[in-house]
Structure 1
Amino acid sequence: MLKGHQSWIFENNPKIRAVGTVVGPFEGQGPLANDFDIIHGDLMLGQDSWEKAEKTLLEEAAKLAIENAGLTQEQVNFFIGGDLMNQIISSSFAARTLAIPYLGVFGACSTSMESLALAANLVNSRSAKFVLASACSHNAAVEKQFRYPTEYGSQKPPTAQFTVTGAGASIVAEHGKGVTVKSATIGRIVDMGITDPFNMGAAMAPAAVDTIQAHLRDLRIEPGYYDLIVTGDLSRIGYEIACDLFEKHKIQIDQTKYYDCGMMIYNYEEQTVQSGASGCGCSAVVTYGHLMKRMLKGELKRILVVATGALLSPISFQQGETIPCIAHAVSLEMEDKI
Structure 2
Amino acid sequence: MLKGHQSWLFENHPVIAGTAAIVGPFEGLGPLAHDFDIVHGDLRLGQDSWEKAERTLLEEAANLAIEKAKITKESINFLVGGDLMNQIISSTFAARTLQIPYLGVFGACSTSMESLAIAANLINSRSAKYVMSSACSHNATAEKQFRYPTEYGSQKPPTAQFSVTGAGTCVLTQQGDGPYVTSATIGRVVDMGISDPFNMGAAMAPAAVDTILAHFRDFRMEPGYYDLIVTGDLSKVGYAIANELFEKHKFPIHQTVYKDCGMMIYDYEKQQVQAGASGAGCSATVTYGHLLRRMREKELNRILVVATGALLSPISFQQGETIPCIAHAVSIENEVRKL
With normalisation by structure 1, the TM-score equals 0.99
1:249-308 deviation per Cα after TM superposition (whole angstroms, max 9, x unaligned) = 011012860000000000000000000000000000000000000011000110000000
Instruction: Tell me how far apart the structure 1 counterparts of residues 35 and 100 of structure 2 sit (CA, whole Å).
Output: 27
Partner of 1:177: 177
Letter of the structure 2 residue corresponding to residue 71 of structure 1: I
Q: Tell me how far 1:335 sits from its aligned partner.
A: 2.1
Q: Distance in 2 between matches of 1:44 and 1:109?
A: 21
2:46 aligns with 46
2:332 match: secondary structure:
strand
Residue of structure 2 in register with 1:29 after alignment: 29
Distance in structure 1 (CA, Å) of the matches to 2:334 and 2:97: 33
Gaps of 5+ in 1: none
Pairs within 5 Å for 1:194-205 = 194-205=194-205
Per the alignment, residue 2 of structure 2 pairs with 2
**After superposition, where does 1:265-276 map in structure 2 within 5 Å?**
265-276=265-276
Provide the residue aligned with 2:88 in structure 1. 88
8 A contact 2:58–2:168 mirrored in 1: yes
1:292 is aligned to 2:292 = yes
8 Å contact from structure 2 (residues 32, 290) kept in 1: yes
Paired residue for 1:277? 277
Matches within 5 A, 1:236-255: 236-254=236-254
Cα offsets for 1:73-129 (capped at 9, x unmatched): 110000000000000000000000000000000000000000000000000000000
CA distance in 2, matches of 1:227, 1:249: 21
Q: Mapping of 1:1-338 within 5 angstroms? A: 1-254=1-254, 257-335=257-335
C-alpha separation between the residues in 2 aligned to 1:195 and 1:302? Answer: 35
- Give the Cα–Cα distance (whole angstroms) in 2 for the partners of residues 162 and 305 of structure 1: 20
Name stretches of at least 5 consecutive residues in structure 2 with no aligned partner.
none
SS at match of 2:253: coil
**1:327 partner letter:** A
**Alpha-carbon distance in 1 for matches of 2:16, 2:278:** 24
The letter of the residue matching 1:188 is R
When the two chains are superposed, the root-mean-square deviation of aligned CA atoms in Å is 0.8
CA spacing shift, 1:90–1:32, aligned 2, 3 Å:
same
Q: How far apart in 2 are the matches of 1:182 and 1:322? A: 34
CA displacement at 1:23 relative to structure 2:
0.1
User: Aligned partners of 1:256 and 1:23: how far apart in 2?
Assistant: 29
Distance 1:18 1:250 in 2: 38
Q: Following TM superposition, by how much is the alpha carbon of 1:177 offset from its aligned partner in structure 2, in angstroms?
A: 1.5
| CA–CA distance in structure 2, aligned partners of residues 300 and 206 of structure 1 | 26
User: What secondary structure is seen at the aligned counterpart in 1 of 2:271?
Assistant: coil
Separation in 2 of the partners of 1:118 and 1:317? Answer: 29
Q: Aligned residue pairs: how many?
A: 336
CA drift of 1:150 comes to: 1.3
After TM superposition, give the deviation of residue 178 of structure 1 in Å: 2.3
Identity, in percent, stands at 78
Distance 1:304 1:215 in 2: 10
> Partners of 2:188 and 2:218 in 1: how far apart?
14
- Report the residue type matching 1:73 in the other structure: K
Look up the equivalent residue of 1:117 and give its one-letter code: A
Question: CA 1:145/1:255 → structure 2, altered by over 3 Å: closer, same or farther?
Answer: farther
Which letter maps to 1:317? F
Paired amino acid for 1:84: L
Runs of 4+ aligned residues of structure 1 deviating over 4 Å after TM superposition are none
